[in-house]
Structure 1
Amino acid sequence: MARLWTWLRRPGRRQTLVGALSAQATLAIEGVEFALRACEADADLDALVERIEQVERQGDTTRLQFVHLLSTRVVTPLDREDMFRFSRCLDEVLTNTRDFVRETRAWQIQPDDHSRTGLEHIRRGLEQLVGAMDTSSGRINRELCTAARKEGRRVREQYDDGLRQLFVEELNMEALARRELLRRVDVIGLRLIEAIDAVVDGIVKRTI
């Protein structure tokens, strides 16, 4: 991950719109990595919150750079509205991931296996999304985006299964906290799907 981020920061890589979006998605992956660490029994939650907040601030900076680039380009790879929506949804993925880590620390509870598995699907979906973006040509691969969307849909399956398990157990404060964490993961998955839908819509418009 560090090598990928270093590559994206080389001169010229983030000077393209697709390069800036790829950088945003890469930061979102880094945030999900921290969220997965927060699911571990011996996690240092204070340190993880500090680190993911740093990543989230980097994400805000990268999004501002993207918006600036978008305002200066006469020709864009995809429809401007779709690209802006894509960037906004990626930003919301990272923001909600940060909130997941914050809430885990606030409630001092270890997320269940369904939350962890949901985060793993999100990470794989984001990785496929980064792989779909060719920062040199400015093209985005529709098939890889579709594969990434399938990973996002699997997050909802984990949410449904997790809720069913919680509802058959004793309802207490711990169960309520786990439900909220599970819901947060589901929201991240939904924002990921919205991001992918935005870019796929843009690709389809360009082929009509």
Structure 2
Amino acid sequence: MKIHKEGRVLLLVLFLVLIASLTGLLYLVEVSQEVFWAVIGFESLVFLFFLQFFRNPKRKTVLNDKLVIAPADGKVVVVENTPENEYFKGEERIQVSIFMSPLNVHVNRNPVTGLIKYFKYHPGKYLFAWHPKSSTENERTSVVYEIHKGVEILVRQIAGAAARRIKWYIDENQSVIQGKEFGFIKFGSRVDLFLPVGTKINVQKGQKTVGGQTVIAELD
């Protein structure tokens, strides 16, 4: 299993801290064998939790200019028409939101092949990711992909109550490839897509998604 670069240092530090605490428990404090093994079990679960969170599975994406694929693993929590005010200046768009729990892979992938037309980072609050205002008030990034002339989609990374750090590896005027990694959000979080009205949506609320593979929508 490949570990994402965002978690390697944290996992090393956590491992050393856990080993140090066990060593201290073994040599500095008198505890029963049952307590010692219970502590080992608990610390192993803690380490495994963080280990699975930073996993980075290899995904094969079948490139298709007519499809919008899932930018993240998770569950679809919103499918609705809504105005988008930051970039599209109130123009109505189809919003599809994917919630990522701490158990999901948190790698974010380009949903389309195209040009990064717009990028902006917004510091903000840490409301729960499913909160209606998290899309406009939480720490977030907004990324606009120009697929071909006149066709644009917006993807928004949103931090949640536990996710206090958003990472991105793209910039404006950069050409990107569908399915390739563009960012990472630590712990529970959300990704919103804003698609042109009339786009055929292939997912529904409550459906699970696999980043880089699940087809979210079909473009005209």
Compare CA radii of gyration and give the structure with the larger one.
2
Same fold per TM (> 0.5)? Answer: no
Normalized against structure 1, the TM-score is what?
Answer: 0.31
Larger helix fraction of residues: 1
Relative to its length, the structure with more strand (as a share) is: 2
